[in-house]
Structure 1
Amino acid sequence: MVTRPEADISAFLKARRAALDPAELGLPAGINRRRVPGLRREEAAQLAGISVDYYTRIEQGRTPNISDSVLDAVARALRLTDSEYAYLRDLTLPGRRTPTTGTGTTGTTGSQQVRQGIRLLIGAMEDVPAYVCNAAMDVLAWNTLGGLITYDFAALEPRERNLARLYFLDEEQSRSLYPEWEPGGEYMAATLRADVGRHPDGPALGALIADLLEHSAQFRHCWDQQHVRGLCYGVKHITHPVAGELWLHYESLPLPSDPGQTLVTFTAEPGSSTEKALRLLATRATPQPVPSP
């Protein structure tokens, strides 16, 4: 993995402490001027209802037998989101890592094989751009529109079909596609951090993070923020070279029977200019068979 779990725990908790405003939590400013932003360890311990020594050991990753109740208290004290709490549990309690449902056979970051039923499903979604990716953000399968709304996956070599590599390492193209490029990069890095917590021993994921840290200054900036966010939903703004401005609702749907794989779909508001642009793009596109394993 890119770093040791102890270092990950320390960096994450320090960042979360630094992000909090003591005044908003009702804590006094204190006699001495604060040298760093956020909460001191003593204050985090006080809010969690534990000793400073114990909190310090938690932050240093030296509590292998930490109880659920103590971890809950730390999460409340630091105002962790659900995704951040899941990430902290994954780091501190590897034996009780956030479960992934399903019975499919997977590697440490999800299987590279997409089931035929899923391939048929996305192939039948003619008006809905869709693709399947794994935890390392490799795009494993896509339908015709799914392979055209951003990158032409069919024209890329398998190793190049990675959303994070394309976003951070081909900056010129990704900036042209995504007007909100900086916030989008922060979101992607936060999603990758959540995946690292769930799959700490995944070689493909570890290699991806190491490669991005080495070759992308923007990724290093985003990664250092220690943000965590699980895959979910939202609206993506895309400037397409053919279809123009697109505002697409996306849904990231984990496949229960295929742990580590996620189906991503994009839809437009009925009657919108985006819906019309997608229809135009579909008429100009050459139908592509869903890639075989």
Structure 2
Amino acid sequence: MDNRAEVREFLISRRAKITPQQAGLPDVGPRRVPGLRRGEVAALAGVSVEYYSKLERGALGGVSASVLDAIARALQLDDAERGHLFHLAHAADGTSARMRTRRRPGKRWTPRPSLEWVLDKFTAPAIVRNGRMDLLACNHLGRAMHASLYDATAGAQPNFVRFTFLSLDAARDFYPDWDLAADTCVAILRTEAGRDPHDKELHDLVGEVATRSEDFRRRWSSHNVRYHGAGVKHFHHHIVGDLELAYESVDMISDPGLTLTLYAAEPASPTAHALDLLASWTVPTVDTDRRARHQP
């Protein structure tokens, strides 16, 4: 991806979201575009308008952390947006490539036996994904919960981005609030693109889905990013109905770039009963569970 264009579009999109009132500035004169003027951002960040204009044109290489912090404060960036700005700066000066974890080319990731044991011991749904939103591993109930995702891939690598935007009928059934799920999906992918701008498979994924989905293109162009740590998600399962699940996502230190997400239902809730029913209707065997977990 063109780093200078990414920087420019990200900063312009964040500037457009802040009103003078939100920044504590007087709203003087007509504005050709929404949000703050460059000069206002520069004044809030304590830099010259010429210098900020240079940064907004994409020249982030070599910019100090203190200046990046000042810009983040001026634009009122949240933690995910601030992190994205720093990742773009690292990419501009070449440090992101040096910081990237090296992987053996062509080596396919498979879960370690110890990780499989952990997944099997967790009685609620549990999944492992990468930053490109590939579903790489899951326990039995995680596989059952995401049956529509597996069905839509026809034996290929399950991927939440492709499912959400290219299998619309199934995705809109699985996600009761499809718009929220779509926004979240793209924001996670955009965050990953900033973290690892040299990921060719991610570039290919973005290009593939962008050419086929206007919904994706529109969201991708918004440059929204987010961290996906904890919260509540809503799903609709074709067998047991609506599910309201709390989730906790953690980065896997032993496998950089991978995320383990654990789901849980409130005890004695309708969702807890639905998961018990789903588990009883999809009793695993050792062979079928192993085949499902290692599907491409």
- Give your verdict on TM over 0.5: yes
User: 1:187 — aligned with what?
Assistant: 184
1:79 aligned to 64, 73, 76, which one? 76
Shift of 1:42: 0.7
Report what 2:133 is aligned to.
Answer: 137
**Unaligned 5+ residue runs, structure 2?**
none
| Contact 2:97/2:198 (8 A) holds in 1 | no
Flag the 1:106–1:123 CA change in 2: closer, same or farther, 3 A.
Answer: farther
| Paired position in structure 2 for 1:6 | 4
How far off is 1:15 after superposition? 0.3
Paired position in structure 2 for 1:289: 289
Q: Which runs of 5+ in 1 are unaligned?
A: none
3-state DSSP of counterpart to 1:249: strand
Q: Shift of the alpha carbon at 1:231?
A: 2.2
In 2, Cα distance between equivalents of 1:150 and 1:277: 14
Matched, 1:249 2:281: no
Query: Corresponding residue for 1:148?
Result: 144
Tell me the residue number matched to 2:67: 70
Aligned with residue 115 of structure 1, among 112, 116, 121? 112
1:215 Cα deviation (Å)? 0.9
Helix, strand or coil for the counterpart of 2:255? coil
SS in 2 for 1:93: helix
Structure with the higher helix share, 1 or 2: 2
Contact 2:131 2:188 (C-alpha < 8 Å) held by counterparts: no
Q: TM-score, normalised by structure 1?
A: 0.91
Task: Compute the displacement of 1:65 (Å).
Answer: 1.1
Q: Matched residue of 1:27: which SS?
A: coil
**Per-residue deviation, 1:114:** 2.3
Structure 2 counterpart of 1:207 = 204
Once residues 254 and 111 of structure 1 are traced to their aligned partners in structure 2, the CA distance between those partners, rounded to angstroms, is 19
Taking the aligned partners of 2:257 and 2:155, their CA distance within structure 1 comes to 18
Q: CA deviation at 1:47?
A: 0.5
Distance 1:180 1:154, change over 3 A: closer
Match of 2:269 among 272, 277, 280: 272
For residue 115 of structure 1, report the CA deviation from its aligned partner. Answer: 2.3
Residue 29 of structure 1 corresponds to which residue in structure 2?
Answer: 27
In the alignment of these two chains, the number of paired residues is 286
Q: Rate the CA distance shift 1:115–1:79 in 2: closer, same or farther, 3 A.
A: same
2:51 alignment partner, one of 47, 50, 54? 54
Counterpart code for 1:150: H
**1:89 touches 1:96 (CA, 8 Å); kept in 2?**
no
Alpha-carbon distance in 1 for matches of 2:223, 2:183: 10
- Structure 1 residues 153 and 238, CA, compared in 2 at 3 Å: closer, same or farther? closer
Q: 1:186 and 1:283, CA in 2 relative to 1: closer, same or farther beyond 3 A?
A: same
Corresponding residue number in structure 2 for 1:171: 168
CA apart distance, 1:99: 10
Contact 1:90 1:96 in 2 (8 A): no
Query: CA contact under 8 A between 1:237 and 1:245: conserved in structure 2?
Result: yes
Q: Which moved more, 1:60-69 or 1:187-196?
A: 60-69
Given the alignment, which residue of 214, 220, 228 partners 1:231?
228
Mark the CA change 1:152 to 1:34 in structure 2 (over 3 Å): closer, same or farther: closer
Change (3 A) 1:158 1:65: farther
Distance (Å, rounded) in 2 between the aligned partners of 1:33 and 1:235: 42
What SS does structure 2 have at the residue aligned with 1:70? helix
1:154 Cα deviation (Å)? 5.5
Contact 2:252/2:260 (8 A) holds in 1: yes
Q: Percent identity among equivalent residues?
A: 38
SS of alignment partner, residue 148 of structure 1? helix
Q: 1:79, CA displacement in angstroms?
A: 0.5
Give the C-alpha shift of residue 160 in structure 1: 4.2
How many angstroms apart in 1 are the aligned matches of 2:192 and 2:134?
Answer: 13
| Structure 1 Cα separation of the partners of residues 98 and 281 of structure 2 | 43
CA deviation string 1:118-139 (max 9, x = no partner): 12211222x2111111111111
- In structure 2, relative to structure 1, the CA distance for the partners of 1:107 and 1:130 (3 Å cut) is farther
Residue type matched to 2:246 in 1? H
Report the CA distance shift for 1:158/1:119 in structure 2 as closer, same or farther (over 3 A): farther
